[in-house]
Chain A
């Protein structure tokens, strides 16, 4: 929320200057060194069945036009603190899943990847699941910045457990495609109360299927996504790469997420 405020504040003021004094944007030719190609691990396990996904890929040079290449034929396993081992097998290029796995809250999970000569490992403890109480659709006719089209905003209501620090990540999908941006939150300002996360002006139409996932995550993951959420902003105090919880020299993260979800269909205009 604070980050959002911060962004609004700066964006509005800069917008004002842009509007009034014809500042301009143009594409420039920038000479950058090429980053070394690195292994990328994008991995989380969930308490929900069939939701745990581990993607292995490689990074690309900044201005590259080719697709990110995937890492195939890796051996991927998840080990619980009970000592159970779950093999994740490649079901699509670079995508590793296990249809029988569902995580247990409070349990610590270890990731173990072997590929070529590389071994990558990481640990994450799955927090307690926090259910979504409700998802409220807010429709405003005036809209933002004078837009006359109806504007849709979402309020994802949930109740933060007291007596512990909780970290959350939010994912909102429209017809199975994820809205851009990383949204994370920490209960510093709402410990132990009913609160909501506000998603202002999300483009959607009646009949769209909206899928909201609330993941309770650990602190390392929160810090990781917090940095990603600020990445790319010209006002960022210190742009840089997030601290990864992976051992073995790869980009990315491993998280054990306690997830809850809600799905609904945007009602027709007359029903709103």
Chain B
């Protein structure tokens, strides 16, 4: 206990010292310039857009998640430069002798312009920004990247970045820097999403038509984020067009999409509605089999968002998501699962220097399985429900220093499983007791420019987690037998865990084109995913840290070098990281996860480590653009109960991982694209022998993950064809022939997945040789051979 206090005190003093340092420069008379930065055409906020002072480019500020910015400057005359990648920069002269509000609209740069106007834009953001280990996806950019079934998918695009690896063939699940897939905090408009995939992971739940901004922190996440060990995937939905009604849609091989955006009340607000439904079950009509013909197999997503400005200082956002997978096979079997999230947010500007956001968030994930004939049907279900309050502030202290602080409160209800059976069924109804928990956190962080070349972002997060009653809480001995059962009342504390999570990022700008960055982050995870299958499964359940399960934690350090070449045409970076993970979870060999009230007795605990080297080269401009990512890494686990307590490779340990993405603009209307992926096969457990039990062959397995799946590689090709954007009309006044932009625009996207028809191993099983049932052979299952697809997109 003493040690803990000392640690906290140490951190508090360090923080105070830095605050004083930041305040030193705040002596002269200062005024603020503040406002929002938006897209001139749609009125959408531009988070991350920057404001720089022309005379001293080291000082500046970037717009927050809501497009708001504020900068404190000593009284005087300034030239302000507002810029954002892909937009024309604006320069504004201001005489700063009072607080000024400047709401800025930036115009998107046409593609041709992007090539010419190089210098004026803030294209060295990757070098200058004090964040590393970040992967962002430009939602526009992914349009041309070929994907499985032509279903564009932000998660699959992210997997093409170094350090982020797909969970399997065609999967939208991902591993970040050796962490497992439940260690990613996935936020959709701040609402945590518990299961981010459809159809056993082949599609993500994120309909890219409704998204604006996608950012993944592989480490070095700010103190405002918490709750997961490995990464934060922050996905923001579009706000909606405040100027014009706009309709976007697409018709694809697998699904169709439609998005409508429109202003609300005199450009004060906007809404966006977006829907997507797949029709994989359409193909089943062609089956000769009656049962397959009547099978149901589809999923849908529905996104809704509205925002409204109320006066100058307040803004309200309401957003929601509903998505569900449905699968049914004749009347005897049904299975559905999905997420619902809802977020209400309130931005308030107390004064030009103090911005706040308050969010109320609801998130629910559930699944249900129905089985058996009518009147003796059995249904099995499980759900997790979160109520979440977030209250965040940003305080723009001066041109050197921007503070973030806030609090977080999440109430979790977990129903690990219930079984309902009808009267004639062979089962009793059964409900595994619900589990309750309260996850709270407070944080403070400061982005501080210590000199024109060095900036530091440091913060502390304090988290407190409580498992709550009501319920029967079991204690187990080492054999997994119950030795004690305690009964707890509603809201009674079962167990509490707390911890301080320091986060530090530093950026040293070496010169105009290069910088050195480093970070340290400690993260804690109080919610654990119990997977009951080796592939991603909707029946995976979440459990809280409890009297039997300690929270997991991780420490990660990273170092990176960033360099841009040829006037920011090429972006280059190398990063290395080392991560230690504690109190990770795995299963006993005979674990039963589904509907097991004693599931905690089937868990084993251990630790992990991961380290690696990531290289990234991106060409941003010109006819040919794209990137190459390479990762060299190792991730290992150590459990007392597994492999005699030796370190062994985690399933997702992939030594080499290469992704090459190329896009070539043939003309304004035709774009070609290709990506090639290679990675070392997953670590896997294979048998080395066999023996007879009860007259049947039983496999004798070698050590856990002692073998490798074959290496994976694949080439995808894409072609994007836009119809003519301009039509030729005769100007009625002058009689001249002019080019007029069409309102209705459309494009065709053709893609080929796995173009050279590589048979990548999805699973390897051991089966008897057909003509000689005494011998075994290894049989490889490949899921997707060459798959062509076509998508038609339109907007007006």
Contacts and interface: CB of A to CB of B under 8 A. Distances in A.
B533 A6 contact: yes
Contact of A234 (B289, B537, B593, B765): B765
Interface string A203-232: 000000000000000000001101110011
B693 A40 contact: yes
Contacts of A57: 691-692
A182 B775 contact: no
Contacts of A55: 692
Given A9-B539, A62-B689, A146-B292, A27 B772 contact: no
B290 A238 contact: no
Size class of the A contact interface (CB-based, 8 Å):
35 or more
B477 interface: no
Interface string B375-388: 00000100000000
Interface string A1-34: 1100110111011001111111111111110111
B784 interface: yes
A62 B696 CA distance: 14
A146 B380 contact: no
A122 to B, nearest CB: 14
Contacts of A28: 710, 761, 764, 778-780
A67 B292 contact: no
Contact of B595 (A2, A12, A67, A144): A2
A102 to B, nearest CB: 20
Interface stretch (B38-46, B60-68, B232-240, B280-288): B280-288
Contact of A238 (B589, B689, B692): B589
Given A32-B707, A35-B700, A24 B759 contact: yes
Interface in A88-145: 142, 144-145
A251 B700 contact: yes
Interface stretch (B423-431, B520-528, B727-735): B423-431
Contact of A59 (B335, B691, B774, B784): B691
B430 A27 contact: no
A95 B764 CA distance: 34
Interface in B551-607: 586-587, 589-596
Contact of A196 (B283, B426, B693): B426
A146 B590 contact: no
A168 interface: no
A223 B592 CA distance: 10
B660 interface: no
Interface string B682-706: 0001111111111110111110100
A114 B591 CA distance: 33
B786 to A, nearest CB: 9
B534 A232 contact: no
A142 B297 CA distance: 22
A254 to B, nearest CB: 12
A234 B288 contact: no
Contacts of B395: none
A193 B426 CA distance: 8
B719 interface: no
A148 to B, nearest CB: 10
A178 interface: yes
A62 B766 contact: yes
A272 interface: no
B694 A178 contact: yes
Interface string B148-167: 00000000000000000000
B333 interface: yes
Nearest to B604: A238
A145 to B, nearest CB: 6
Contacts of B702: 32-33, 35
A238 B779 contact: no
A191 interface: yes
Nearest to B686: A32
Contacts of A195: 426-427
Contact of A16 (B297, B596, B698): B297
Interface of B: 199-200, 280, 283-284, 287-292, 295, 297, 327, 329, 333, 335, 369, 371, 380, 419, 421, 426-428, 430, 531-535, 537, 539, 586-587, 589-596, 685-696, 698-702, 704, 707, 710, 759, 761-766, 772, 774-785, 787
7 contacts: A6-B594, A26-B780, A34-B689, A65-B774, A234-B763, A239-B701, A242-B590
Which 5 pairs between the two chains have the least Cβ-Cβ distance? A35-B689, A234-B763, A146-B289, A35-B688, A59-B691
Given A25-B780, A234-B534, 14 more contacts: A2-B592, A10-B200, A13-B327, A19-B287, A28-B710, A28-B764, A36-B689, A60-B690, A145-B289, A146-B288, A180-B696, A182-B694, A189-B421, A223-B590
